[in-house]
Structure 1
Amino acid sequence: MYNGGSDPDFAKNLNVLKFPYSHPLKYGNLTPFLWEVMKWLEDINVEYEYLMNIDHDVLFVKHGFEPFLDDVMAQFDCIGWRLQNSRDHPDSLPIRNMPGEWHLWQPIFKTDSFLSYFNPGQVYSHKIVKRMLSYVDHATLDKLLENTPVFAFEEIFFITLAFACGGRFREYPEGSLDNDTVRWGANITFANVLQSRKNPFYFWIHPVKGEELIKLNQQMLTMKEEEPVEMVEEQPADQHPLDDEAGPTTHILPSFRKRNKRRTRPRKGPLKR
């Protein structure tokens, strides 16, 4: 857990792994949080399979997310909601805020274009995190991160860096647009949750804030536990091939037993790096 606020005692009684170097974050730039956590996990030699960003207003609504990730990330290095690129979506947020700063960031990424994910629920494999950390000059990067004026830069930085490293990326199944499960704006309602739980691809919701999150969680705890979700075949989203030899809150998913994984065929025509 990363404490990005001003209360040093926030969540001190929670039995979770806490990032020891937390500091207040600037509104509109949460990028340092996940980047610092990535570096710290390598420094303390934590073994994990997936690293997931969970905002304070994210709530899981059913079990089965870990085997779901095993299935949908069988041939991918990262997954996120609402995958977009600067070529096809130049006017979308936060992409439209980036052109004025691209001359500073292009030498970092060394790409001709950039991508974005909706921030909540971004997931990166440990393999691609290691490549991302070794790809950049940290002194130069840290100075840029501290001063960037790009609003919601965390939605661009991580997926573009993974792309620059040759990472295989995709969307969550049925995760291309805002809906009654994941969106920006008004709180998700209990009625929305009842519908979301029926969808085999939806395991968490965003946003639900403060007391509403606590209330909604209590409502779900009173519901009868449902049967495990069956994996459903679906089409892969945009991705970029990665050679097999190439080597807020953060949720760390440990390694799990191997399962028979369904193979999906990568879609042709990745973005030019």
Structure 2
Amino acid sequence: MICMALLAHEDEHALRNQIRNIRKYNPQDVQIVFYNGGQDANFGKKICEEEKVMYCPYSRPLQQRTSGRFFYDVMRYLEDKKVEYEYLVYMEYDIMFVNSGFREYLLGKMEGCDCLIKMIRKEVDPNQASWPPAKDMWKDWERWKTIFNSDSFYRTSSPMSVFRHGIIKQMLAGLNKKRLERLFDSSNIPCLGEMLYITLAKKYGGKCKIYGDNTKRFLRFRPAITLKEIKEAKKRPEVMFVHPVKDAGVREWIFNQS
């Protein structure tokens, strides 16, 4: 089974449409876990009940670009609840599907590996770091290296990253959870999740594969996906999802497609 970990913080109409969009294009063997990263403690609860989506009770308010603990909270919730799944997918409020086929693509692409990601870079020298969050990690490295037990770390792009349940179990089992909680509480490293999970996976021997170039074009940080691009993606069956969808009109167009 595939489990989608969905992070959102506002706009219940958009949340409901996104849940239905996920289910429309992934009708088989898919569970959704919703994580409320907003200030309203009740955001999304009614929708989760009505749409039969799991609500992560470890949800808490998160700041933009400092949402690193979201995936960890979902991982440990699924373990505590003893949910059976094979793959966990990192989703955010601005990801939408435009074509079917993700399950089949995933089963084929993940054969013999533990992670499916957009890209991977290894950071080995603080003086050579060019990405600002990596620079921040190096500044706080004396504390974080106790989690990684390494002299280096990796980074990726989180949206639509996929981790096999087996590697997640190893990651959770090997963590000093109290130490990690203290770091979550005291560290303000932006994009932390884009370094934390891939580095832990590699620590335990995780093998990673990269999304194909056609998919990566529509899986980016910025600029926002335009309606023209959405219409192009819709005509290309190898493009299954798009990110980031920021415009409400674009979101509605995707949702209303038959």
Which TM-score band (shorter chain)?
A: 0.7 to 0.9
SS at match of 1:28: coil
Asked if 1:214 is matched to 2:251, the reply is yes
Alpha-carbon distance between aligned partners in 1 of 2:242 and 2:184, rounded to the nearest angstrom: 28
Alpha-carbon distance between aligned partners in 2 of 1:110 and 1:71, rounded to the nearest angstrom: 32
Alpha-carbon distance between aligned partners in 1 of 2:171 and 2:185, rounded to the nearest angstrom: 18
Which one has the bigger helix percentage?
A: 2
| CA positional deviation for 1:101 | 1.2
Asked if 1:52 is matched to 2:86, the reply is no
Give the structure 2 partner of residue 70 of structure 1. Answer: 107
Picking from 165, 169, 181, the partner of 1:142 is 181
Give the number of the structure with larger relative contact order, counting CA–CA contacts within 8 Å between residues 6 or more apart: 1
Picking from 66, 83, 86, the partner of 2:123 is 86
Give the structure 2 partner of residue 5 of structure 1. Answer: 38
| Structure 2 gaps, min length 5 | 1-33
Give the structure 2 partner of residue 104 of structure 1. Answer: 143
Spell out the pairing of 1:103-252 with structure 2 (5 A cutoff). Answer: 103-174=142-213, 179=217, 181-199=218-236, 201-209=238-246, 211-219=248-256, 221-222=257-258
| CA positional deviation for 1:157 | 0.5
SS at match of 2:206: coil
Q: Is the 8 A contact 2:94 2:245 kept in 1?
A: yes
Q: Structure 1 residues 87 and 198, CA, compared in 2 at 3 Å: closer, same or farther?
A: farther
Superposed structure 1 runs of 4+ greater than 3 Å apart: 197-201
Q: Is the 8 A contact 1:56 1:209 kept in 2?
A: no
- TM-score, scaled to structure 2: 0.78
Alpha-carbon distance between aligned partners in 1 of 2:117 and 2:214, rounded to the nearest angstrom: 8
- TM-score, scaled to structure 1: 0.74
Give the structure 1 partner of residue 12 of structure 2. Answer: none
Counterpart of 1:109, as a letter, is F
Q: Is the 8 A contact 2:227 2:250 kept in 1?
A: no
| CA positional deviation for 1:119 | 1.6
Q: Is the 8 A contact 2:215 2:240 kept in 1?
A: no
| CA positional deviation for 1:188 | 0.6
Alpha-carbon distance between aligned partners in 2 of 1:13 and 1:142, rounded to the nearest angstrom: 29
Question: What is the number of residues matched between the two proteins?
Answer: 219
Q: Once superposed, what is the RMSD of the aligned Cα atoms? A: 2.1
SS at match of 2:89: strand
| CA positional deviation for 1:155 | 0.7
Counterpart of 2:47, as a letter, is N
| Structure 1 gaps, min length 5 | 223-273
